[in-house]
Amino acid sequence: MIMKKTFLLILCCVAISITSCSLNDDNVKFHFVPLQIVDAEFPDSFTLNETYNIKITYIVPNNCIAFEGFDISNIDVTSRNIVAIGSERENENCNLIAVEAENSFDFTCLYEGTYYFRMWSGEDENGEQQYIELEVPVVP
């Protein structure tokens, strides 16, 4: 009787694993792309331990790209690089008309001094990375 139950349990596990979802869905292919930031709304100053909603305007170059979020990396204690990230569907006919879009993120001021922000704004004609740079002091 125990062998029969064990066999049925194993059979059920195999059946479930065969019919479960596959992570290798070949129908949808995409890759991540940076989106050119053209404007940002920061306050004139920060107050320590306060949270601010930062609005960013970026360019979506075609309708095959969906906004995914912001990649915010710490360069040092009060310096941040910000890149808007999109996912671009592959193998589709895309409308190549660029549109401006806006999204935001919350930023909490945790350190005294001045915060330095570098927002990726594309490449120049020589392929050099370009940034919008902004300084926001922390006031008491």
CA quadruple 68, 130, 75, 79: dihedral sign: negative
Residues in CB range of 103: below 8 A, 6 or more apart: 55, 56, 58, 67, 70, 84
Cross-strand bridge partners of residue 5: none
Q: Are 136 and 52 in contact (CB under 8 A)?
A: no
Separation between Cα atoms, residue 4 and residue 21, nearest integer Å = 28
**What residue type is 84 in one-letter code?**
A
Residues 3-22 have pLDDT tens digits of 444 445 554 445 555 444 55
The token pair that represents 52 in the structure block: 């601010």
Proportion of the chain above pLDDT 90, given as a percent: 73
Looking at the domain 27-139, which fold is it?
Answer: Immunoglobulin-like (2.60.40)
Q: pTM to 2 decimals? A: 0.77
Strand order through the sheet with 51-60:
37-41, 51-60, 99-108
Provide the residue-wise pLDDT of the chain in tens; the chain has 140 residues: 554 444 455 544 455 554 445 555 556 689 999 999 999 999 999 999 999 999 999 999 999 999 999 999 999 999 999 999 999 998 888 888 999 999 999 999 999 999 999 999 999 999 999 999 999 999 98
Report the pLDDT value the prediction gives residue 129, as an integer from 0 to 100: 96
Given a contact cutoff of 8 angstroms between Cβ atoms, the answer to whether 30 and 88 are in contact is: yes
> Under 8 Å CB-to-CB from 121, ≥6 apart: which residues?
36, 37, 38, 130, 131, 132
